[in-house]
Every structure is written in structure tokens, then in C-alpha cells.
Structure 1
């Protein structure tokens, strides 16, 4: 059995390169730059970083940023960060051509965002994101053409 890559503390980690949609590539391939496993950014910077990645069509990487924020967030903010991370995974599934997986994660993310107290912290556009996700789920179910631009929602209010 092949040895699994581990970090300096002995925790397992994946060092395989990934494509722009987060799919593993063969060892030695050129993939997109990876998000550090233990990324630590202030919430506003996490949102800005994730938004930039979404705008580039890198929803899988945006998910990694949002998941890192979720893991570090205080209990009262967990639904916000978990919901955002799951929306990004839903976008990833849509990009990969998996409408069922996309709809499942978009609904799950929206449910978590629905638990966020208003006004949402960090100017996150909770209501806008829930509406965006519902419309996208409907279009996925109708097998409508989904443009790449549709998969780049604004995470925060202007």
C-alpha cells in the first residue's frame, strides 16, 4: 500500500495536484495552485479571497477558503460559513456537470444560511444568496443552460 502524504505534525494531507474544478490529477501533473490546508485569514479577507476565486471560476478553491473560515469560526457564525462553503461546493458540482449533486449542496447551503441572524455579519448577502441558489436549483432541474457567469454569485452586499 502506498504511503499517504502527511504534514509536519503527522496529519494526513493531499498533495496531489488538482485541476481548476478540484479533480485530482496524476502525480507530477501541473494543477492549479492549492489553498493552504490551515489557511488563517480574518473573515473579511476570507470573503474577499473566496469571491476572487469564484470570479475566476475556481469554486473548489473558494470552497477550501470558506471551509477554513468555517473550521475557525465561533459557534454563532458556523451556519454562515458552513452555508457559504456548501454553496461553493454546489457550484463546483454544477461546473463538473453534476446537476443532482449541485442542487443537493445548494439546498443544504441555503438551509444553513437560513439560520443566520439578520443582519448577517461581514455584509454577507444571505437573502440574495438564498434567492440565487433557489433560482439556480430550479434551472438545473429544468436542464437550462447555465453560463459560467451565473456561477459567480456576489457573497457580500455592495
Structure 2
């Protein structure tokens, strides 16, 4: 019988405990890595944006994506498209910085589309929800996706978007 070792969390769910680098890539067991974001943290929108911006500025968009994903999963239904779009932008930047140009450009455009949809639906509500510069982020994503498509290398910290207007 061949038994496979699987990392488990305290509740017994499968979790990969390998350390990760700043772009979320797994490293060998025992290697120094970047501290992972805890999952399922419920934050206020301001806390979410502050933590995600800190991670983006540090060149860790994969980790910022996890923060946005928590907001997407725990926030009100009417805001899910906003947080999902922001998570997709962060993971798009992650893929682009890892050298996955096709995946990076696709996710940047998908995130921009989610933000555009959110903006169209919520147009008569707050035009800058929580101060997020939705239009600027859509423009940033489109411009970066074009450069990624052209094969230009991406440095995640240099390309980090400004979330607030």
C-alpha cells in the first residue's frame, strides 16, 4: 500500500504547508518563505484595502488576492463583484510577474470586466465605493494586459496599482 502524505490544518482539511515566495509559488519544505495570509479573515472594507495595498506595494499580489478573496466570500452579495474583480486583478498581476503572460493578461482583463460590470450596476450609488478608484484600476489593468501581451516583463512591486482615489 502506497500512502501519500498530505498536509492538514487543525480541522483536518488538506492544506499545503510548503513555504511560498512573494508571488505565492511553493518552495521546498524547510526553505524560508513569505508568511502566508490566514484564510477566512473577516475585515472591514477599509482594513481589506489597507492590507491589500500593503501587500501589493511589497510585490506580493498573490497574498493581496487572498485578502480580496476573503472580502469577496464574506462581504454583502451586492459587493461581491467588486471584491471578485479586485482579486482577479491581483492574481492577474501575480501570473504576469511569474511570466505567465497569457494567464496574466486574461485575468487582468477579467478583473477589469468585473469592475466595469460592478460600476455599471452601481453607477447611481457611490461612484468610488470605499474610495476605490474603479475607473483608474480598469485603465491600469487594460494597459498592463497590453504590455503583458507584448511580452514585456512585469515586476509586481513596480506595477502595483493604487487602489484608492
TM-score (norm 2): 0.88
- After superposition, the C-alpha distances for 1:30-75 in whole angstroms (9 at most, x for unaligned) are 1001100222211110111000110010111111111111111111
Residue 92 of structure 2: which of 90, 93, 101 is its match? 90
Q: Where does 1:1-158 land on structure 2 (aligned, <5 Å)?
A: 1-116=3-118, 117-118=122-123, 119-146=127-154, 148=156, 150-157=158-165
- Number of equivalent positions: 157
Gaps of 5+ in 2: none
Taking structure 1 as reference, are residues 123 and 138 closer, same or farther at Cα in structure 2, changes over 3 Å only?
Answer: same
| Shift in CA distance, 28/150, structure 1 to aligned 2, threshold 3 Å | closer
Q: Which consecutive unaligned segments of at least 5 residues does structure 1 have?
A: none
**1:13 Cα deviation from its structure 2 partner:** 2.0
Mapped to 2, the partners of 1:134 and 1:104 lie a distance apart of: 10
Contact 2:56 2:156 in 1 (8 A): no
> What RMSD over aligned residues (CA atoms) do the two structures have, in Å?
1.6
Structure 1 residues 26 and 150: alpha-carbon distance in aligned structure 2, compared to 1, 3 A threshold: closer
- Within 1, Cα distance between the matches of 2:85 and 2:151? 24
Cα shift at 1:94: 1.2
Q: Deviations for 1:84-134, whole angstroms, at most 9, x for unmatched residues?
A: 000000000111111111101001111111122231421111100000111
